[in-house]
Amino acid sequence: MATHREDGEEEAEDLNAKSTCEREMQVQSEEETEDEEEVEGNDDEDVNAGVLTEQKNVKPFNWAPSVISCLGKEVYHYVGTDIKIFEAFDTYGGVMWPGAVALCSFLEHNRDMVNLEDKTVMELGAGTGLVAIVASLLGAKVTATDLPEILGNLRSNVMRNTRGRCKYLPQICALPWSFDVERTFPSALYRFDYVLAADVVYHHDFLDELLATMAHFCRPRTTTIIWANKVRLESDLKFTEKFKEEFNTKLLAEDGDMKIFMAKFKM
Element (H, E) at 102: helix 98-109
Q: Is 82 helix (H, G, I), strand (E, B) or coil?
A: strand
Instruction: Look up the pTM and report it.
Output: 0.76
For residue 248, count other CB atoms closer than 10 A to its CB. Answer: 11
pLDDT of residue 155: 96
Mean pLDDT over residues 128-149, rounded?
97
Range 36-42 average pLDDT: 42
Q: Which of 170, 172, 169, 130 is nearest to 147 (CA)?
A: 172
pLDDT by residue (tens digit) across 162-207? Answer: 999 999 999 999 999 999 999 999 999 999 999 999 999 976 789 9
Task: Let me know how long the chain is.
Answer: 267
Domains and CATH numbers, the chain: 44-265 (3.40.50.150)
**Three state DSSP letters for 213-249:** HHHHHCCCCCCEEEEEEECCCHHHHHHHHHHHHHEEE
pLDDT in tens, 56-70: 344 444 444 434 344
